Amino acid sequence: MNSGSEEIDETQRSKEFEIRLLKRELTFKEIEIHLYKNELSSIYNTVLGQIIKIWKNRKKKREINHSYIDIHTNKLTIKFHTGALNDNRGIGRVSRELLKKLQLLQTENLSPTAKTVYFFSTIHHCPKNLPQPSCILIHDVTPIMYPELFWFESVKWYSEYMPIALKAKKIITISNSSAEYISFYLNINRKEIKVIYNGITNLSKEINSTINLPSEKYIVFLGANDKNKNIDIILKALENEKIQDISLVMIGNNTTVQDIISTSKLKSRVHFMGKLDDDNTSFIIHNAIALVFPSIYEGFGLPPLEAALCGTPSICSNRPAMNEIMYGCALFASPEDADEWISQIEFLRDNPDERKELVKLAQKRAQEFTWEKMSRMLEAVLNDIAE
């Protein structure tokens, strides 16, 4: 009898010990949370905290001021939201091109039975109280795919943008891969998401630019240094002696990279051009041996096709949507393997005939994507959901 009693006591002591451990762990967590609260409180009372307060107040003001441009087609009034028109990134370019092409479809005689629909060219400027019926263009959901890179933006997606997306009568996006990710992360039926590919802007081949180009062969990077753009893999590749004769030209807002390069051995080989107009951008791209597009992920990826129209091939990350859009007409490399980028840069440097062939293939592919086609497909979708 004593033996059984001892076993019961031992089991009881073991359970009590586990409970004490759990209570201690819980206490530590409570202390940790308390410390975080104090830390956040101290930050909020600093200059940074004041900036956050100002940003929140400005955000509230933006929520109030929503404006639309009315576009009247035969049987439809499209209320085009103006929020993204002044954006300097790809979102702004897409918005401006779409507006311009939709306005070309406008007619003077509006039908008395015309229906109304609201269109938002990005989810980032939508009001919380979404007017109906609404169609939202979601380019990608990169922040919630990579929360470790975009923790603040990923929180905003779940807390602000996702509820808005679920209210929309229709979601459109710019690639099949983007549609799959939107469906998965936002819990929207894939059949309810319409894919309409972007158009491509044909940049002119400006030959009278006053831009001073590098005297040596160079590759070009177009875009800002956002975390998903992954420029670090290109900088790492350039350190290799196999391509030490190759320079890098960066177009866009890349001041953070400039700070890093200023103390690097690549200082003389990386050239920062800042923001440029289309003519000077096309001039630089036209004279490059390749455009490098090392993004971790893109919803579509305009630069490689725009580069093709400037006569320059591209090396892209072997990731969606680049390998969907550029399949068969660009070279690919892993966004995590510098050796693959070195090999592809070497190949295009040493094989001018292959460069020309890739350009031909990419130019043929680019002809499939026009803003006219995108605007007409969008009009058809808006007509279907209009009330």
**In which domain, by residue range, is 281 found?**
218-366
The verdict on residue 347 lying in a domain is: yes
The verdict on residue 329 lying in a domain is: yes
Is a pLDDT exceeding 50 seen at residue 1?
A: no
Is a pLDDT exceeding 80 seen at residue 54?
A: no
* Residue whose C-alpha is closest to residue 233's, from 295, 150, 291: 295
Q: What is the CATH number of the domain that holds 108?
A: 3.40.50
SS3 content of the chain, % helix, strand, coil (to 5): 50, 15, 35
The verdict on residue 245 lying in a domain is: yes
Question: Mean pLDDT, to the nearest integer, of 123-135?
Answer: 93
Mean pLDDT (the chain) is 85
Do 134 and 85 share a structural domain?
Answer: yes
Count: domains in the chain = 2
Q: Indicate the SS3 state at residue 106.
A: coil
Residue reference for tokens 């939201």: 81
The verdict on residue 44 lying in a domain is: no
Residue 31: band (very low, low, confident or very high) from pLDDT cuts 50, 70, 90: low
Across 233-371, the runs of DSSP E, i.e. the strands, are 247-251, 270-274, 290-293, 314-317, 331-333
Residue 348: band (very low, low, confident or very high) from pLDDT cuts 50, 70, 90: very high
The verdict on residue 133 lying in a domain is: yes
Q: How far is CA 93 from CA 32, 80, 137, 252, 265, in A?
A: 45, 15, 13, 14, 35
The verdict on residue 157 lying in a domain is: yes
Residue type, 158: Y
Distance, in Å, from the CA atom of 155 to the CA atom of 149, rounded to the nearest integer, reads: 12
Do 377 and 348 share a structural domain?
Answer: no
Taking a C-beta distance cutoff of 8 angstroms, is the pair 302, 198 a contact? yes
The verdict on residue 323 lying in a domain is: yes
Do 381 and 266 share a structural domain?
Answer: no
Do 377 and 321 share a structural domain?
Answer: no
The two tokens of residue 385 are 């959901």
Do 191 and 91 share a structural domain?
Answer: yes
Do 381 and 260 share a structural domain?
Answer: no
* Residue whose C-alpha is closest to residue 298's, from 159, 171, 174, 149: 174
The pTM of the full predicted model, rounded to 2 decimals, is 0.77
Question: Mean pLDDT, to the nearest integer, of 281-310?
Answer: 93
Do 174 and 104 share a structural domain?
Answer: yes
The verdict on residue 26 lying in a domain is: no
Is a pLDDT exceeding 60 seen at residue 328?
A: yes
Do 141 and 239 share a structural domain?
Answer: no
Is a pLDDT exceeding 60 seen at residue 336?
A: yes
Contacts of 92 (CB under 8 A, 6+ apart): 84, 85, 86
* Residue whose C-alpha is closest to residue 325's, from 295, 350, 352, 353: 295
Q: How far is CA 25 from CA 19, 20, 22, 155, 309, in A?
A: 10, 9, 5, 27, 61
Question: Mean pLDDT, to the nearest integer, of 9-30?
Answer: 65
Do 229 and 114 share a structural domain?
Answer: no
Give the gyration radius of the chain's Cα atoms: 26
Distance, in Å, from the CA atom of 239 to the CA atom of 262, rounded to the nearest integer, reads: 15
Whole-number pLDDT of residue 205: 60
Task: Spell 12-50 as b/e; 16+ CB within 10 A means b.
Answer: eeeeeeeeeeeeeeeeeeeeeeeeeeeeeeeeeeeeeee
pLDDT tens by residue, 229-267: 999 999 999 999 999 999 999 998 888 888 788 778 888
Do 172 and 74 share a structural domain?
Answer: yes
Residues β-bridged to residue 116: 77
Q: What is the CATH number of the domain that holds 294?
A: 3.40.50.2000
Question: Mean pLDDT, to the nearest integer, of 356-362?
Answer: 95
Which of 163-167, 171-175, 209-213, 370-374 is predicted least confidently?
A: 209-213
Looking only at the bridges linking them, the beta strands covering 314-317 and 331-333 are parallel
The two tokens of residue 164 are 């808005």
Residue 39: band (very low, low, confident or very high) from pLDDT cuts 50, 70, 90: low
Distance, in Å, from the CA atom of 95 to the CA atom of 102, rounded to the nearest integer, reads: 11
Do 227 and 144 share a structural domain?
Answer: no
Do 377 and 257 share a structural domain?
Answer: no
